[in-house]
Protein backbone atom coordinates (compact mmCIF):
# COMPACT_ATOMS: atom_id res chain seq x y z
CA UNK A 1 0.00 0.00 0.00
CA UNK A 2 1.38 3.41 -0.97
CA UNK A 3 1.52 5.57 2.18
CA UNK A 4 2.95 8.66 0.48
CA UNK A 5 -0.30 10.61 0.36
CA UNK A 6 -0.43 13.98 -1.31
CA UNK A 7 -2.38 15.40 1.61
CA UNK A 8 -1.46 15.67 5.29
CA UNK A 9 -3.16 16.02 8.67
CA UNK A 10 -2.09 18.02 11.69
CA UNK A 11 -3.69 18.75 15.10
CA UNK A 12 -5.84 21.86 14.90
CA UNK A 13 -4.50 23.30 18.17
CA UNK A 14 -1.00 23.32 16.64
CA UNK A 15 -2.10 25.59 13.79
CA UNK A 16 -2.78 29.31 13.48
CA UNK A 17 -4.33 31.24 10.62
CA UNK A 18 -2.32 34.30 9.67
CA UNK A 19 -3.54 36.92 7.23
CA UNK A 20 -0.62 38.81 5.70
CA UNK A 21 -1.17 42.28 4.25
CA UNK A 22 1.26 44.58 2.50
CA UNK A 23 0.66 48.29 3.08
CA UNK A 24 -1.29 50.31 0.52
CA UNK A 25 0.48 52.62 -1.93
CA UNK A 26 2.78 55.08 -0.16
CA UNK A 27 4.25 58.28 -1.52
CA UNK A 28 7.61 56.50 -1.78
CA UNK A 29 6.12 53.85 -4.12
CA UNK A 30 5.14 56.45 -6.71
CA UNK A 31 8.70 57.66 -7.26
CA UNK A 32 10.32 54.32 -6.46
CA UNK A 33 8.50 52.55 -9.30
CA UNK A 34 10.52 54.55 -11.84
CA UNK A 35 13.66 55.16 -9.77
CA UNK A 36 14.45 52.46 -7.21
CA UNK A 37 17.14 54.59 -5.58
CA UNK A 38 14.39 56.99 -4.49
CA UNK A 39 13.51 54.57 -1.69
CA UNK A 40 16.71 55.70 0.06
CA UNK A 41 15.59 59.34 0.28
CA UNK A 42 15.32 60.43 3.95
CA UNK A 43 11.88 61.95 3.34
CA UNK A 44 10.56 58.52 2.39
CA UNK A 45 11.85 56.62 5.45
CA UNK A 46 8.43 56.92 7.11
CA UNK A 47 6.26 57.59 4.07
CA UNK A 48 2.49 58.06 4.41
CA UNK A 49 -0.18 56.69 2.08
CA UNK A 50 -1.12 58.44 -1.14
CA UNK A 51 -4.73 59.41 -1.94
CA UNK A 52 -4.82 56.34 -4.20
CA UNK A 53 -3.62 54.23 -1.30
CA UNK A 54 -6.67 55.32 0.66
CA UNK A 55 -9.14 55.18 -2.22
CA UNK A 56 -11.49 52.52 -3.53
CA UNK A 57 -9.70 52.25 -6.86
CA UNK A 58 -8.76 48.77 -8.11
CA UNK A 59 -6.08 48.68 -10.79
CA UNK A 60 -6.21 45.93 -13.43
CA UNK A 61 -2.95 44.70 -14.92
CA UNK A 62 -3.83 43.51 -18.43
CA UNK A 63 -0.34 42.08 -19.02
CA UNK A 64 -0.65 39.77 -16.01
CA UNK A 65 -4.43 39.35 -16.39
CA UNK A 66 -5.07 40.02 -12.72
CA UNK A 67 -6.25 42.71 -10.34
CA UNK A 68 -3.43 44.59 -8.63
CA UNK A 69 -3.25 46.85 -5.63
CA UNK A 70 -6.51 46.64 -3.74
CA UNK A 71 -6.42 49.83 -1.70
CA UNK A 72 -7.50 50.48 1.88
CA UNK A 73 -11.21 51.33 1.46
CA UNK A 74 -11.74 48.50 -1.01
CA UNK A 75 -9.88 45.96 1.14
CA UNK A 76 -11.92 47.05 4.15
CA UNK A 77 -15.12 46.23 2.28
CA UNK A 78 -13.65 42.88 1.20
CA UNK A 79 -12.76 41.73 4.73
CA UNK A 80 -16.26 42.67 5.89
CA UNK A 81 -17.95 40.91 2.97
CA UNK A 82 -15.98 37.66 3.32
CA UNK A 83 -16.46 37.53 7.11
CA UNK A 84 -12.80 37.93 8.01
CA UNK A 85 -13.46 41.12 10.00
CA UNK A 86 -15.48 39.11 12.52
CA UNK A 87 -12.82 36.40 12.94
CA UNK A 88 -9.66 38.44 13.53
CA UNK A 89 -8.44 38.31 17.14
CA UNK A 90 -5.35 40.53 16.81
CA UNK A 91 -3.81 42.93 14.29
CA UNK A 92 0.00 43.19 14.39
CA UNK A 93 1.69 45.90 12.37
CA UNK A 94 5.03 47.55 11.74
CA UNK A 95 5.37 50.87 13.62
CA UNK A 96 5.80 52.92 10.43
CA UNK A 97 3.14 55.40 9.30
CA UNK A 98 2.02 53.74 6.05
CA UNK A 99 1.63 50.40 7.80
CA UNK A 100 -0.40 51.76 10.70
CA UNK A 101 -2.59 53.78 8.33
CA UNK A 102 -3.30 50.63 6.30
CA UNK A 103 -3.91 48.45 9.37
CA UNK A 104 -6.29 50.89 11.05
CA UNK A 105 -7.98 51.86 7.80
CA UNK A 106 -8.81 48.23 6.99
CA UNK A 107 -9.38 46.64 10.40
CA UNK A 108 -10.24 49.61 12.65
CA UNK A 109 -13.69 50.75 13.73
CA UNK A 110 -15.91 53.29 12.05
CA UNK A 111 -15.36 57.06 12.06
CA UNK A 112 -14.61 58.36 15.54
CA UNK A 113 -17.32 60.36 17.32
CA UNK A 114 -16.57 62.73 20.22
CA UNK A 115 -18.14 61.64 23.47
CA UNK A 116 -17.95 57.92 22.68
CA UNK A 117 -16.11 56.03 25.42
CA UNK A 118 -13.83 54.11 23.05
CA UNK A 119 -10.66 56.07 22.15
CA UNK A 120 -9.64 56.69 18.53
CA UNK A 121 -7.19 54.33 16.85
CA UNK A 122 -6.14 57.05 14.41
CA UNK A 123 -6.50 60.79 14.91
CA UNK A 124 -7.96 63.06 12.27
CA UNK A 125 -5.64 63.88 9.34
CA UNK A 126 -2.94 61.46 10.51
CA UNK A 127 0.03 61.68 8.16
CA UNK A 128 -1.65 64.56 6.28
CA UNK A 129 -4.19 62.04 5.01
CA UNK A 130 -7.22 64.31 5.15
CA UNK A 131 -9.10 61.37 6.67
CA UNK A 132 -11.46 61.44 9.61
CA UNK A 133 -10.43 59.94 12.94
CA UNK A 134 -11.05 56.18 13.20
CA UNK A 135 -12.55 54.67 16.34
CA UNK A 136 -11.34 51.62 18.25
CA UNK A 137 -14.95 50.66 18.99
CA UNK A 138 -15.71 47.19 17.65
CA UNK A 139 -12.18 46.60 16.36
CA UNK A 140 -9.70 43.87 17.36
CA UNK A 141 -6.66 44.79 19.48
CA UNK A 142 -3.74 46.40 17.61
CA UNK A 143 -0.08 45.85 18.40
CA UNK A 144 2.85 47.66 16.72
CA UNK A 145 5.93 45.42 16.64
CA UNK A 146 9.43 46.56 15.69
CA UNK A 147 10.54 43.17 14.37
CA UNK A 148 8.11 43.18 11.42
CA UNK A 149 9.26 46.50 9.98
CA UNK A 150 10.94 46.95 6.58
CA UNK A 151 14.61 46.33 5.79
CA UNK A 152 16.60 48.60 8.06
CA UNK A 153 18.59 51.49 6.70
CA UNK A 154 21.64 53.31 8.01
CA UNK A 155 20.68 55.29 11.08
CA UNK A 156 22.51 56.47 14.18
CA UNK A 157 19.21 56.23 16.04
CA UNK A 158 18.74 52.50 15.36
CA UNK A 159 20.21 50.59 18.30
CA UNK A 160 19.02 47.12 17.25
CA UNK A 161 21.44 46.84 14.33
CA UNK A 162 24.89 48.23 13.47
CA UNK A 163 24.51 51.92 12.56
CA UNK A 164 26.95 51.79 9.64
CA UNK A 165 25.65 48.65 7.89
CA UNK A 166 22.34 48.18 6.10
CA UNK A 167 20.54 44.98 7.00
CA UNK A 168 21.27 42.17 4.54
CA UNK A 169 18.48 40.24 2.85
CA UNK A 170 19.57 37.13 4.76
CA UNK A 171 19.29 39.01 8.03
CA UNK A 172 15.92 40.40 6.98
CA UNK A 173 14.60 36.89 6.26
CA UNK A 174 16.03 35.59 9.53
CA UNK A 175 14.31 38.39 11.44
CA UNK A 176 11.07 37.52 9.67
CA UNK A 177 11.42 33.86 10.66
CA UNK A 178 11.97 34.83 14.31
CA UNK A 179 8.94 37.08 14.12
CA UNK A 180 6.77 34.22 12.85
CA UNK A 181 8.10 31.97 15.64
CA UNK A 182 7.17 34.71 18.11
CA UNK A 183 3.58 34.48 16.94
CA UNK A 184 3.44 31.12 18.71
CA UNK A 185 3.85 32.87 22.04
CA UNK A 186 0.50 34.57 21.37
CA UNK A 187 -2.71 32.87 22.42
CA UNK A 188 -4.69 34.21 19.45
CA UNK A 189 -5.40 31.74 16.63
CA UNK A 190 -6.50 34.20 13.92
CA UNK A 191 -3.95 36.99 13.45
CA UNK A 192 -3.50 39.73 10.86
CA UNK A 193 0.04 40.93 10.14
CA UNK A 194 0.38 44.19 8.19
CA UNK A 195 3.95 44.70 7.03
CA UNK A 196 6.28 45.50 4.11
CA UNK A 197 6.93 43.78 0.79
CA UNK A 198 10.60 43.07 1.51
CA UNK A 199 10.06 41.40 4.86
CA UNK A 200 7.08 39.38 3.61
CA UNK A 201 8.74 38.24 0.39
CA UNK A 202 12.11 37.19 1.83
CA UNK A 203 10.51 35.47 4.81
CA UNK A 204 7.97 33.53 2.76
CA UNK A 205 10.65 32.42 0.28
CA UNK A 206 12.39 30.63 3.15
CA UNK A 207 9.18 29.12 4.49
CA UNK A 208 8.07 27.78 1.12
CA UNK A 209 11.37 26.47 -0.30
CA UNK A 210 10.40 22.81 0.28
CA UNK A 211 6.82 23.16 -1.00
CA UNK A 212 5.47 21.97 -4.34
CA UNK A 213 6.31 24.61 -6.99
CA UNK A 214 2.66 25.63 -7.34
CA UNK A 215 2.27 26.08 -3.59
CA UNK A 216 5.65 27.84 -3.35
CA UNK A 217 4.46 30.37 -5.92
CA UNK A 218 1.17 30.91 -4.11
CA UNK A 219 2.95 31.47 -0.80
CA UNK A 220 5.97 33.50 -1.82
CA UNK A 221 5.02 35.54 -4.91
CA UNK A 222 5.65 39.25 -4.57
CA UNK A 223 2.94 41.24 -2.75
CA UNK A 224 1.02 44.00 -4.50
CA UNK A 225 0.13 47.11 -2.51
CA UNK A 226 -2.68 46.31 -0.06
CA UNK A 227 -2.74 42.63 -1.05
CA UNK A 228 -4.17 40.20 1.50
CA UNK A 229 -2.89 36.61 1.61
CA UNK A 230 -4.17 34.05 4.14
CA UNK A 231 -1.97 31.16 5.26
CA UNK A 232 -2.04 28.38 7.85
CA UNK A 233 0.95 28.33 10.19
CA UNK A 234 1.77 24.83 11.50
CA UNK A 235 3.76 24.22 14.68
CA UNK A 236 5.99 21.36 13.49
CA UNK A 237 8.73 22.14 16.01
CA UNK A 238 6.46 21.99 19.06
CA UNK A 239 6.99 25.69 19.80
CA UNK A 240 3.53 25.99 21.31
CA UNK A 241 2.25 24.19 24.38
CA UNK A 242 -1.49 24.77 24.05
CA UNK A 243 -3.89 21.89 24.42
CA UNK A 244 -6.92 21.50 22.23
CA UNK A 245 -10.10 23.23 23.36
CA UNK A 246 -12.18 21.05 21.02
CA UNK A 247 -10.80 17.51 21.49
CA UNK A 248 -12.80 15.20 23.78
CA UNK A 249 -11.24 12.03 25.27
CA UNK A 250 -14.39 9.91 25.03
CA UNK A 251 -15.29 6.98 27.31
CA UNK A 252 -15.98 7.74 30.96
CA UNK A 253 -14.10 7.81 34.27
CA UNK A 254 -11.26 5.26 34.48
CA UNK A 255 -13.11 3.03 36.94
CA UNK A 256 -16.00 2.69 34.48
CA UNK A 257 -13.76 1.71 31.56
CA UNK A 258 -14.80 -1.97 31.49
CA UNK A 259 -13.83 -4.56 28.89
CA UNK A 260 -16.35 -4.82 26.07
CA UNK A 261 -17.68 -8.23 27.21
CA UNK A 262 -18.28 -6.91 30.75
CA UNK A 263 -19.88 -3.72 29.50
CA UNK A 264 -22.31 -5.69 27.34
CA UNK A 265 -23.74 -7.41 30.45
CA UNK A 266 -24.85 -4.08 31.94
Catalytic residue among 19, 28, 150, 227: 150
List, for residues 77-114, the tens digit of each pLDDT value. 899 999 999 999 999 999 998 899 899 989 988 877 76
**What integer best gives the mean pLDDT of the chain?**
79
Decide if 150 is catalytic. yes
Sign (positive or negative) of CA dihedral 78, 84, 89, 94: negative
Average pLDDT, integer, range 162-180: 82
| Angle, helix 213-220 to helix 197-207, in steps of 10 degrees | 160
Catalytic residue among 23, 28, 196, 202: 23
Decide if 77 is catalytic. no
Rounded to two decimals, the pTM is 0.78
Average pLDDT, integer, range 138-150: 91
List, for residues 182-208, the tens digit of each pLDDT value. 998 899 999 999 999 999 999 999 989
Amino acid sequence: MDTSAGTAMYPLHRCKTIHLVRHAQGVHNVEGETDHSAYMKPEFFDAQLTPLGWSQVIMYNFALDEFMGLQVDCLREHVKRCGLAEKVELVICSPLMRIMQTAVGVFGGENYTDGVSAPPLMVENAGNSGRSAISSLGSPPFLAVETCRERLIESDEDTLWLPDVRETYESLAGRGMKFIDWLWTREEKEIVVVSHSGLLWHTLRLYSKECHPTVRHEVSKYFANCELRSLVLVDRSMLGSDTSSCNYPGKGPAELDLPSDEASKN
